[in-house]
Amino acid sequence: MPRMAYYKHHLFFCLNQRGPGEACCAGHDAQAAFDHCKARVKAEGLAGPGGVRVNKSGCLDRCAGGPVVVVYPEGTWYTYVDKHDLDEIVDSHLKQGRVVQRLELAADVGR
């Protein structure tokens, strides 16, 4: 019998801060994005076991594309600009299972 995942979706927001002049997600106000997404997931009733977990992360090594969030178990990497982009990820990906292609981070973007 296949094992059930504890969460249907698990999001990791990079909140890493690098030195002056270095690309990093914290420089794009990633903390505010994390806070918004976590509150939105909770408000939509998606949070918790069997649903969605939104977590902080250290460096995910995709700094050049920052800010970034990755959604598991799919392993979909997103970049975002504002709360509207995050709302679209919640509405499309988390609620309807549809990847938001316009926000996907290109596979070759690294540090």
Contact yes or no for 64/22 (Cβ under 8 A): no
Residue 16 maps to which CATH number? 3.40.30.10
> Strand runs (DSSP E) across 5-103, as ranges?
9-14, 52-57, 68-72, 76-79
- The pLDDT tens digits for 73-106 are 999 999 999 999 999 999 999 999 999 999 999 9
Count of the separate structural domains present in the chain? 1
Q: Is residue 27 part of a domain?
A: yes
Whether residue 104 contacts residue 68, with contact meaning beta carbons closer than 8 Å, is answered with no
Residue 3 lies in a domain: no
Q: Which domain holds residue 13?
A: 9-103
What pTM does this model have? 0.91
Task: List, for residues 28-78, the tens digit of each pLDDT value.
Answer: 999 999 999 999 999 999 999 999 999 999 999 999 998 999 999 999 999
108 inside domain: no
Look up tokens 């505010």; give the residue: 32
Q: How far apart are CA 46 and CA 52, in angstroms?
A: 6
